[in-house]
Amino acid sequence: EWRRSRLEELLALQALVAEARKDGLLSTGEAGAAWQRQHRRILTEEVQASVLQLAPQVTDVDVAAYLAEHPEETSPAERLRLRHIFRHLPASASPDERDRSRTEMEELLGQLQAGADFGALARKHSDSQTAGFDGLIAPVARGGLDPEVEDVVWGLEVGELSGVVATPHGLHIFRLEERLPPAELPREEVARRVRDRLERRAHAEALGAAFDQLVQSSNALCRPEMLGIDV
């Protein structure tokens, strides 16, 4: 069903493009650039979905094996209560779009540092579902967030703001609201967190391997650092 909707979207876009080309609307200007962005987005989503289907499936056996090797994850753990503002960035976002989003997030960070209300800015600007809760995230233990985020938020003091944090999903600003005392998490919750973490790792490895294979087969020179993006 997902593939059908992507295909229908792409066919509709191609039909619009054919009409626009007849009228010379795509030769220059914003219309041509918008068509290229939309086309790239649809194809990128399709490629990602195809690659992720090849990623190894995380089974109950994998989760149990991980927990057996990491018994500390089932012991009482300290948790953090955080707020965040999130700006979604699709993998197909252009360098200009990434720069523009980072600039906007840096401006929001400046407002927060000057004393602006975090909840109000989260409600207005955040792309996360937490925007409706003033950016408040449910308490999280170690391992419950992306590695890039974990490295930042566990080093914050209560009331302290992070910088702009980049993840594969987009850009974040965090504020630590409270450190909660260690509490025993239900084993089902621990298993869910571990499964999510293992699936994210498997997906990242699958995408990385597919990208490397594409670069090698095309004999291309990949220098993402020159574009200011992470691959």
Residue 178 has pLDDT above 90, yes or no: yes
Q: Give me the phi and psi of 26, to 5 degrees please.
A: -105, 5
pTM of the model: 0.57
**Residue 90: its pLDDT value, please?**
79
> Does the pLDDT of residue 30 top 90, yes or no?
no
Cβ neighbours around 15 below 10 Å, total: 10
Q: Supply the pLDDT for residue 122.
A: 96
Determine contact, residues 102/188, Cβ cutoff 8 Å: no
User: Residue 25 above 70 pLDDT?
Assistant: no
pLDDT band for position 138 (cuts 50, 70, 90) = confident
Average pLDDT over residues 56-80: 84
| Residue-level pLDDT at 70 | 81
Least confidently predicted of 162-166, 181-185, 199-203: 181-185
- Percentage above 90 pLDDT, the chain: 35
- Given a cut of 70, whether residue 123 has pLDDT beyond it is yes
Positive/negative CA dihedral, 90, 91, 96, 99: positive
Rounded CA separation 149/172 (Å):
9
Q: For residue 3, what pLDDT is reported?
A: 67
pLDDT of residue 227: 44
The pLDDT, as a whole number, for residue 230 is 47
Q: Is the pLDDT of residue 153 over 50?
A: yes
The CA distance from 230 to 214, in Å, is 16
pLDDT category of residue 2 using cuts at 50, 70 and 90: low
Take residue 120 and report the two structure tokens written for it: 């109000």
Whether the CB-CB separation of 92 and 44 falls below 8 Å is answered with yes
Which residues in 23-36 are b (16+ Cβ under 10 Å) and which e?
eeebeeeeeeeebe
Confidence of residue 225 (pLDDT cuts 50, 70, 90): low
Residue 229 has pLDDT above 60, yes or no: no
